[in-house]
Amino acid sequence: MQIKIFTIPIGDGGAVQQEMNTFLKVHKIHEIEQKLISNNNGSCWCFCVRYLETVFTTASESKVKVDYRQVLDEPTFQKFSELRVIRKQAAGIEGLSAFILFTDEELAELAKLEEITVKSMLGIKGIGEKKVKRYGHYFIAKPENNEAPGPVA
């Protein structure tokens, strides 16, 4: 556990307060002690913050929203759009949020494939055997020669 001390003068214009708020947003805080100190030099708030080393990032800091219309060529984007429709329908059937089935990033990679098969799906980062088994049948147009049609067993 780490300790950080913040001393905020009563007449602070907000700079030290902002620094403390930013610190609190990105660290896992265990405990905060506060005390108002007054002496000949004036008054200030002293905060003793006990925190863990873990640093959190907000969703906006960790992921930048991708515009797949700009990233993918037109035919691939059309396929991506069709896969999103299939994902939405499958999510409705499964009673889940669409991103649980496959993320947009995973769908973009699927759209780049010439043909969607179990084997090709397993080659995409983030798609494992469980996802393919549960949701792959919604996206596989025709099974490979050695694959049975319908849901993945």
Say yes or no to pLDDT of 76 above 90.
Answer: yes
Give the pLDDT confidence score for residue 41 in this predicted structure: 83
Give the pLDDT confidence score for residue 88 in this predicted structure: 94
Say yes or no to pLDDT of 22 above 90.
Answer: no
Those residues with Cβ within 8 angstroms of residue 153's Cβ, 6 or more apart along the chain or in another chain: 133
Q: CA nearest 86: which of 66, 111, 68, 121?
A: 111
Number of helices (H), then strands (E), in the chain = 8, 3
Query: H helices of 4-148, where?
Result: 15-26, 59-62, 68-71, 74-94, 98-101, 104-112, 118-122, 129-135
Residue ranges of domains in the chain, CATH in brackets: 2-57 (no CATH), 64-138 (1.10.150.80)
Question: Virtual CA dihedral for 65, 70, 72, 74, nearest 10 degrees?
Answer: 140
Say yes or no to pLDDT of 150 above 80.
Answer: no
Say yes or no to pLDDT of 120 above 70.
Answer: yes
**Amino acid at position 130, single letter:** K
Say yes or no to pLDDT of 109 above 70.
Answer: yes
Q: Tell me the per-residue pLDDT of 29-65, one tens digit each, with 9 for 90 and over.
A: 889 999 999 988 889 999 999 988 765 555 545 567 8
| Spatial separation of the C-alpha atoms in residues 85 and 82, rounded to whole Å | 5
Does pTM surpass 0.75? no
Say yes or no to pLDDT of 133 above 90.
Answer: yes
**Amino acid at position 112, single letter:** K
Give the pLDDT confidence score for residue 151 in this predicted structure: 47
User: If you average pLDDT over residues 110-122, what whole number do you get?
Assistant: 93
Those residues with Cβ within 8 angstroms of residue 7's Cβ, 6 or more apart along the chain or in another chain: 16, 44, 45, 46, 47
φ/ψ bin of 150: left (φ > 0), alpha (ψ from -120 to 50), beta (otherwise): left
